[in-house]
Chains A and B, each alone.
Chain A
Amino acid sequence: MTNIDRGQRLIPRPQLERPEIVQTGVLRQSLSITRRNLIHIKRMPEMLMDVTIQPVMFVLLFAFVFGSSISIETEAGYKAWLLGGIMAQTVAFSSFIVAVGLTADLEKGIVDRMRSLPINPASVLIGRSISSLMHSSIGLVVMSLTGLLIGWRINTNVAEAALGYLLLVGWGFAMIWIGILAGSAMRSVEAVNGVMFATMFPITFLANTFAPTDNMPPVLRTIAEWNPISSLTQAVRELWGNDYPLREGAALPLQHPVLATMIWIVVLTAVVAPLAIRTFNKRTAS
Chain B
Amino acid sequence: MSRDAAIEAENLVKKFGDKAAVDDVSFSVPTGTVLGLLGPNGAGKTTTVRMMATLTKPTSGTGRVAGHDIITDPRQVRRNMGLTGQAATVDELLTGRENLRLIGSLYGLSSDYIKRATDDLLERFSLSDSGNKIAKTYSGGMRRRLDLAVSLIATPPVLFLDEPTTGLDPRSRLELWDVLRELVNDGTTLLLTTQYLEEADQLADNIVVIDRGKVIAEGTPLQLKDQSGAASLVLTVSHADDLPLAEKMLRAHVAEVHVDPGARQLTASAEGLQHMTRIAGLFADSEIELDDIGLKRPSLDDVFLHLTGHRAEDTTEPTDETRMTEEVPA
Binding site for B on A (CB under 8 A): 1, 3, 5-6, 9, 12-24, 28-29, 32-33, 35-36, 39-40, 43-44, 108-110, 112-119, 284-286
Contact = CB atoms under 8 A, between A and B. Distances in A.
Contact of A117 (B107, B134, B157): B107
B205 A3 contact: yes
Interface of B: 2, 16, 28, 30-33, 53-57, 75-76, 78-79, 81-83, 85, 87, 89, 91-94, 98, 102-103, 105-110, 113, 117, 134, 150, 154-155, 157, 185-188, 205-206, 218, 220, 222-223
A17 B155 contact: yes
Contacts of B220: 3, 5-6
B55 A115 contact: yes
CB-CB nearest 4 A-B residue pairs = A13-B32, A109-B89, A118-B78, A22-B108
Contact of A13 (B2, B78, B105): B2
A3 B30 contact: yes
B78 A32 contact: no
A1 B188 CA distance: 19
Contacts, number: 122
B106 A29 contact: yes
A113 B106 CA distance: 11
Given A116-B54, A116-B83, 14 more contacts: A3-B30, A6-B220, A16-B186, A18-B154, A21-B154, A39-B93, A43-B94, A109-B87, A112-B83, A113-B150, A115-B54, A116-B55, A117-B78, A286-B16
Contacts of B92: 108
Which of B55, B57, B222 has the largest number of chain A CB atoms within 10 A? Answer: B55
A286 B91 CA distance: 22
Contacts of A13: 2, 31-32, 185-187
B155 A23 contact: no
Contact of A3 (B110, B206, B218): B206
B206 A110 contact: no
B186 A24 contact: no
Contacts of B32: 9, 13
Nearest to B28: A1
Given A20-B110, A44-B93, A9 B205 contact: yes
Given A19-B155, A116-B83, A285 B56 contact: yes
A15 B187 contact: yes
Nearest to A19: B113
Contact of A112 (B78, B85, B218, B222): B85
A3 B190 CA distance: 14
B31 A39 contact: no
A40 B93 contact: yes
Contact of B106 (A108, A117, A284): A117
6 contacts: A3-B30, A16-B187, A18-B154, A19-B154, A33-B106, A118-B108
Contact of A16 (B106, B134, B188): B188
B108 A21 contact: yes
Given A39-B93, A116-B83, A1 B56 contact: no
A108 to B, nearest CB: 6
Contacts of B187: 13-16
B106 A114 contact: yes
A1 B218 contact: yes
A113 B92 CA distance: 14
Contact of B79 (A6, A21, A113): A21
Given A19-B113, A113-B85, A36 B102 contact: yes
B290 to A, nearest CB: 35
A110 B155 contact: no
Contacts of B85: 109, 112-113
Contacts of B154: 18-19, 21
A35 B57 CA distance: 30
Contacts of B107: 21, 117-118
Nearest to B47: A286
A56 to B, nearest CB: 25
Given A19-B109, A115-B55, A118-B107, A12 B2 contact: yes
A284 B50 CA distance: 11
A64 B76 CA distance: 61
A29 to B, nearest CB: 6
B139 to A, nearest CB: 18
B102 to A, nearest CB: 5
Contacts of B2: 12-13
Contacts of A108: 87, 89, 92
Given A12-B2, A16-B186, A109-B85, A22 B109 contact: yes
A32 B106 contact: yes
Contacts of B103: 113, 117
A9 B34 CA distance: 11
Contacts of B223: 5
A119 B75 CA distance: 8
Contacts of B33: 3, 9
Which of A18, A36, A118 has the largest number of chain B CB atoms within 10 A? Answer: A118
Contacts of A9: 32-33, 205
A43 B93 contact: yes
A32 B102 contact: yes
